[in-house]
Amino acid sequence: MRSPVHPFFVSVLSGAIFLLLSLSASAQHYEQRFKAGAFLGFNAGQIDGDDHQGYRKLGLLAGLRGATVLGDRFELDTELSFSQRGSKSSKGSGGSLFSGGAPDRGAFDLSLSYVEAAFLLNYLTYETYDDYYAIHLHGGLSYGRLIGSEVQETTTFKPEVVPMNVLKPWFTKNDINLILGASVYVTENLGLTLRHSVELTPLFDPERHPDVASTRLMQYFLSVSVVYMVF
């Protein structure tokens, strides 16, 4: 399914790439107090409240990372990324596994595209014989701006279930996520990052829209990416 890419993200990413190149070129003048890099991977998402379960929705994750060295074992990371999330029903399944096999909602595929900024505290551990820390544990918060959404949905099985297409205009445009994760570096520059993110602000909040009879929608997603840092 084709996902929308907002022109704003293209402009931001172009500027961020230029900034990354400038910073990496001048990093040596700061006595290694700053590092810069890029990462590429995917998200696997699900939404609590959509009558489906499982991290089935896959989406692109790509961005830039800057790290400020705070000490021997601590770094403050700042990231700018394009992040696709959402939810997807299982193939051949009509709905919820919580209702004894009686589906509440028809099959659907929800794609959400965000421009995201993350702020993370990194703890470095497991020093290798090559004199670098191979494991980076991190946690923090991210701010996401919804720049595109697309819904493909069949007719619901129960009339009281509100279709995703009806809820779409009321999706929250700005979200905050709690992030916990770890990176394992196979070299001083190249690593693999695993994360779990929990949305703190609901995608749809029924308290803000009492006239819409729907449950609260909260996003959860796993992220896997390859990262390359320039020193």
In SS3 terms, 6-65 reads as CHHHHHHHHHHHHHHHHHHHHHHHHCCCEEEEEEEEEEEEEEECCCCCCCCEEEEEEEEE
* pLDDT, position 212: 74
Q: Is residue 131 part of a domain?
A: yes
Query: What total of structural domains would you count in the chain?
Result: 1
Decide if 62 is inside a domain: yes
Tens digits of residue pLDDT in 204-216 = 988 888 777 678 8
CA contacts within 13 A on the Cβ side of 24: 17
Q: Show the domain range for 216.
A: 7-230
225 inside domain: yes
Q: Output the pLDDT for position 32.
A: 67
pLDDT of residue 2 exceeding 60, the answer is no
Better-predicted residue by pLDDT, 173 or 166: 173
Which residues, including other chains, have CB under 8 Å from residue 39's CB and lie 6 or more apart?
A: 61, 62, 63, 64, 65, 79, 81, 193, 225, 226, 227, 228
Residue that wins the pLDDT comparison between 10 and 82: 82
CA–CA distance, 157 with 76 (Å, rounded to integer): 48
d(CA 184, CA 95) in angstroms, rounded, equals 37
Q: Is residue 149 part of a domain?
A: yes
Residue 157, domain member (yes or no): yes
Q: What is the pLDDT of residue 210?
A: 76
49-71 pLDDT tens trace: 877 778 999 999 999 999 999 98
**Dist CA 42 CA 79 (whole Å):** 15
Q: Which 3 state secondary structure label does DSSP give 170?
A: helix
Nearby residues of 53 by Cβ (< 8 Å), 6 or more positions away: 46, 96, 97, 98
- How far apart are alpha carbons 81 and 42 in whole angstroms? 11
| Structural domain includes residue 209 | yes
Instruction: Specify if 2 maps to a domain.
Output: no
- What are the contacts of 154-160 at 24+ separation with CB within 8 A? 154/106, 154/107, 154/108, 155/106, 156/104, 156/105, 156/106, 157/94, 157/95, 157/102, 157/103, 157/104, 157/105, 157/106, 158/104, 158/105, 160/213
The CATH number that applies at residue 193 is 2.40.160.20
Q: Look at residue 102 and tell me if it is in a domain.
A: yes
